[in-house]
Structure 1
Amino acid sequence: MLIRALIVLLVVLNLGAAAWWLTRPAPSPEPPPALPTGVARLQLVGEEAPAAPVPASPAATFVPPAPAVCFSLGPFTSEAAAIQARDALGADLLRWQLREAPGASASGYQVVMAPAASLEEAQATAARIGAAGFDDFLVVRQGDQANGIALGRYRSRDAAERRLAELQAGGFTAQLQPVGRAGPSLWWLDAGAAEGADPAALARRASSAAPQPLECTALR
């Protein structure tokens, strides 16, 4: 009888344990661990990606209208004068740009060596120049360049630069100097205006000489 009672008790206990296991509430999932700043979370296959914020559309870039009448105003003797002319015309110009034009070039160029400490030193240098195969040189004996060496005078800068390069390649410290005074640079205001603009009237307002025709494609 005792054995039968034990068997019945074990059966009841097993049935009770099975009933508790089947009816117990499902455990809550543990929250995922926090990720370090800047590290993206892995996304499983089939998992929906979080909605990304829609970037704001950039503001439309303003494009000024293309000019229909283009011309050059000037010449002005300085950049400041050209800027003043531009400011005088203000909104009447749709596009504009300043342009520098070189003034009159020098009348010639000479290649020289700086004056030496004494006439004897200049003569010794001249002897070395001749021994190196160069001709057309002269020791200057008076004036501001006394004890210097003149190594040639040329009308074009290209010819003078070739002579200078040859002497420098031979180990002589020659230099190039312009002969005569070069004129200053001049400035022009290249401008474009709307259809119907009067370039002559704009030139008078800008204190410019008569306007010069200009292709609008030249305006950047």
Structure 2
Amino acid sequence: MRYLFIVLLMANIAFFVWTQRIAPPEKKSFQVVDPGVKALQLVAEAEPDKPTESINNQSSVNDDVKQMCFSAGPFDIEANVHAAAEIVNPVVLKSNIRKITTTQEAGYWVYLPALSSRAEALKKGRELAAAFVKDYYVVTSGDNENSISLGLYREPYNADSRIAELQKKGFQVNKEIRIEQWPEFWLDFSVTETQLPGLPDLKASYPDVSQNEVICKNN
């Protein structure tokens, strides 16, 4: 009886070893996530999103909207035109500052043409003084060196009167128109009809400046 028990025990041990080492393990099925939970998706596996259409088309808006254009000026100081631009920029479509050079007749210069040397110019000056001619000046440098200035006059009849006086005293003098140039600054800007009521009047801050509607130029 004892030997039979030992034989059965050894048979059970042998069967257990055979099932664990020789027989293939039972496959168990499992789920990555719990039921009802959406599986994660890698960025590389996702399809790229289709580009969305632009909400605002600036070029089409600019083409369709009706613009009104204005020009304000002239500003004689550059700082003033930049300050005016800061006033209108929040309520306009666009603005631009222009600088132009204005030319105007500044008067009429009466003079004796340049002499051959400074000594000759000083000699002619003494002749003028001897003839009781006042308000003359010997030019000692520049383009008109050794000429004698006899006055600058705003009105032409004053210059002609001076010439007639000197000619009676035997001096042949010339008259030349003097040209004066200076910069002017203009502020150009455009608005829509809806922006027009909010457009500030620059004349309130700059009384000498005009603000007029002009024809819009195509870009």
TM-score when normalising by structure 2: 0.39
TM-score (norm 1): 0.39
Computing the radius of gyration from Cα coordinates, the structure with the larger value is 2
The structure with the greater share of residues assigned to strand is 2
